[in-house]
Structure 1
Amino acid sequence: MATLSASPSPNPNPNFRSPTDQTDHDPESLPQMELHPSSDQEPTPNSNRNFHAVLPTPPEATAPAAAAAPSLLHISFNQDHGCFAAGIDHGFRIYNCDPFREIFRRDFDRGGGIGVVEMLFRCNILALVGGGPDPQYPPNKVMIWDDHQSRCIGELSFRSEVRSVRLRRDRIVVVLEQKIFVYNFADLKLLHQIETIANPKGLCAVSQGAGSLVLVCPGLQKGQVRVEHYASKRTKFIMAHDSRIVCFALSQDGQLLATASSKGTLVRIFNTVDGSLLQEVRRGADRAEIYSLAFSSNAQWLAVSSDKGTVHVFSLKINGGSPGIDRSQSASDPVTSPHSSLSFIKGVLPKYFSSEWSVAQFRLVEGSQYIVAFGHQKNTVVILGIDGSFYRCQFDPVNGGEMTQLEYHNFLKPEAAF
């Protein structure tokens, strides 16, 4: 069983904060622990020769190949969107968003594919899952990596492949194809199991505010989402769409939920407490695959990326629907999402003509996969591409329209190394 350590080791890497560091973006204390490898959920033996045995001390970082750029297996933002992590075919990398820079990399000298990298704000603890053609760890295991010690300090094993992992300061959430497991971070004790409909993308969202844990996952029916309010021990089911759910996002405090279906035309915003529909916005008229949704920190804006090559920003008009959310306005009132010019005959023509459209847009390469988040600078959006592209853009909250590109980098290029 995992145990606590009274004296954590020193941190040789200044780019990661100690688990007990406190910052403006990270007000709560972080887990302080040394976990010893433990098994859970009836671990299955490792019979795949492509998997590397988990060593007590994984190989030290080696210089990356000077030739071609690595293959990207995974990208994800950390909880406050100030950093992002990239899993590659021979390790993982951590980047700062503003200013953009690579702050850490670890390259494994034997294969080393990492298919999931989940950060815990900016502390030294990461969750890793093997991936790619030559995975560093079996894809049915979650490895808890401590970069103070440059090694894995714990593991969770499962009967099937891990689809995604979500971290909070107090919880580890592991998502499988049809099950979700919630663990206590300090000792890896299993607290809750949830059954879901088939969930190959590993859809799951957890609140990151100072309050209690809210967890959202697919329900057991097509188009349904399940909301777990752990403080009140309440479960809420919301029939969000007629079609299959492909993407959703929670506001930081867990009170607002944005959802998108396989049609990709509409995005709906719900109150997670009572399940009421608060707002509906339209990405477009034709079908699209929505890749990511993101709330701004004050839940005033919603960003959407899709395979159509356009990132949209919508204005949220949640008046009293979610008490407790700070929606402090700027000196200028932001423009509201424009409506169709034919909205005056709402109820006569199809719903399309009275839809709320995005305030601001940014054009990218159509067909490529991008994820999006709001930057720490006011009215900025950060966009990450599976091709290694990094964009930082700014939108006009008053006039809307096309966003201004502030920055572009290819974070996979070897010369981008620190």
Structure 2
Amino acid sequence: MCHTTLGGMVLVCPGLLKGQVRVQNFEFSRTEFIMAHDSNIARLALTLDGRFLATASCKGTLIRVFNTSDGSLLQEVRRGADRAEIYSLAFSKTAQWLAVSSDKGTVHVFGLKIHSDTSLTQTTTTVPQLDVSSNTSSLSFFKGIHICLQVYYPKYFSSVRSVAQVRLKEGVKYLVGFGKNDFTVVIVGIDGSYYTYEFDPVEGGEMSQLEYYNFMKNEETF
């Protein structure tokens, strides 16, 4: 995958190692090798300016966003807990949103905060502090366990969840993109289906269908 920027060209492709991505940044004449996932790379996507990279593995549970200039991890989002095949990844024009489609028949839209100057080097999760001052308290057995929770708290609960989503036919391969604005999602299926959906960036939730057309069945719905 290759994108041309104002300063040069960014080329990304899977590396030689499992879960590795090679980023060739011609603007800075630099090559970065990113260990993006524990399993093989399934999908890659770049922003229009080539500054940010989204990656998904064959597990399909986590999508990670990296800075292509230095390979730093900026954000991690979670599609779900079950293994899935990721069909498509797409950034919005402003890189504020990321759309993801999978073999589960779902399309998720995630809100991104990747314009920060600092990279995500570790996730911090706040665990509620329990009243363990009394030895007779029914919660006293947590005295020492709650400290371990701060270290081993499951990553499942700390990953960012989708802002908006829609469920389509399971098993159909869908490609996703963004329409005329950042809040319009375009979905094209291998079965000839074409959808446009709109989502509320504040309320989120289920997306609203704006348009449907099937090129194979010649059916149109607004």
TM category (shorter chain) comes to: 0.7 to 0.9
- Alpha-carbon distance in 2 for matches of 1:307, 1:414: 25
Alignment-derived partner of residue 144 in structure 2: none
Pick aligned residue for 2:26 from 221, 224, 230? 230
Q: Percent identity?
A: 66
TM-aligned CA deviation for residue 315 of structure 1: 0.5
Are the structure 2 counterparts of residues 378 and 317 from structure 1 closer, same or farther at C-alpha, using a change threshold of 3 Å?
closer
| Residue-by-residue CA offset, 1:51-91 (whole Å, 9 max, x unaligned) | xxxxxxxxxxxxxxxxxxxxxxxxxxxxxxxxxxxxxxxxx
The one-letter amino acid of 2:193's match is S
Q: Check whether the contact 2:92–2:182 (CA below 8 A) recurs between aligned residues.
A: no
Correspondence for 2:89: 293
CA-to-partner distance for each residue in 1:291-335, whole Å, 9 max, x for gaps?
A: 11000001000010000111000000113349xxxxxxxxxxxxx
User: Which residues in structure 2 correspond to 1:379-418 (within 5 Å)?
Assistant: 379-413=183-217
1:368 is aligned to 2:186: no
Alignment deviations for residues 119-140 of structure 1 (CA, whole Å, 9 cap, x no partner)? xxxxxxxxxxxxxxxxxxxxxx
- Letter aligned with residue 251 of structure 1: T
The one-letter amino acid of 2:166's match is F
Q: 1:291 to 1:212 in 2, by over 3 A?
A: same
Q: RMSD of aligned C-alpha atoms?
A: 2.0
Aligned to 1:265: 61
- The question of 1:249 aligning with 2:53 is answered no
C-alpha distance in 2 between matches for 1:347 and 1:308: 32
Tell me how far 1:212 sits from its aligned partner: 1.3
Are the aligned partners of 1:346 and 1:354 in contact in 2 as well (CA < 8 Å)? Answer: no
Q: Deviations over 1:195-239 (max 9, x none)?
A: xxxxxxxxxx22244441101011111111111112332111111
- Counterparts of 2:33 and 2:13, CA distance in 1: 10
| AA of the residue aligned to 1:403 | M
Measure, in 1, the Cα distance between the counterparts of 2:150 and 2:2: 37
Q: 2:111 aligns with which of 305, 315, 331?
A: 315
Q: Is the 8 A contact 2:45 2:91 kept in 1?
A: yes
d(CA) in 1 for partners of 2:199, 2:76? 21
- Structure 2: which amino acid aligns with 1:287? R
Q: TM-score, normalization: structure 2? A: 0.81
Quote the Cα distance in structure 2 between the aligned partners of 1:414 and 1:404: 22
Amino acid at match of 1:298: T
* Structure 1 letter corresponding to 2:46: L
1:116-265 matched pairs, under 5 angstroms? 205-265=1-61
Give the Cα separation in 2 of the matches to 1:262 and 1:352.
Answer: 17
Give distance in 2, aligned partners of 1:373 and 1:254. Answer: 16
Contiguous gaps of at least 5 residues in structure 2: 119-125, 129-148
Instruction: Quote the Cα distance in structure 1 between the aligned partners of 2:32 and 2:93.
Output: 24
* SS across alignment from 2:94: coil
| Shift of residue 349, structure 1, vs aligned partner | 3.1
Q: How many residues get paired?
A: 193
8 Å CA contact 2:93, 2:182 repeated in 1: no
Change (3 A) 1:349 1:231: closer
Unaligned runs of 5+ in 1: 1-204, 323-341
Q: What is the one-letter code of the residue matched to 2:105?
A: G
Distance 1:220 1:281 in 2: 25
Alpha-carbon distance in 2 for matches of 1:354, 1:209: 33
Mapped to 2, the partners of 1:286 and 1:410 lie a distance apart of 30
Q: Could you say which residue in structure 2 is the equivalent of 1:334? A: none
Task: Find the aligned partners of 2:76 and 2:51 in 1 and give their Cα distance.
Answer: 16
Q: Which has the higher strand share?
A: 2
Q: Is contact 1:292–1:371 with CA below 8 Å preserved after alignment?
A: yes
Distance in 2 separating the partners of 1:379 and 1:274 = 29
Could you say if the C-alpha distance between residues 257 and 400 of structure 1 is closer, same or farther in structure 2, counting changes exceeding 3 Å? same
| 1:381 positional shift | 0.2
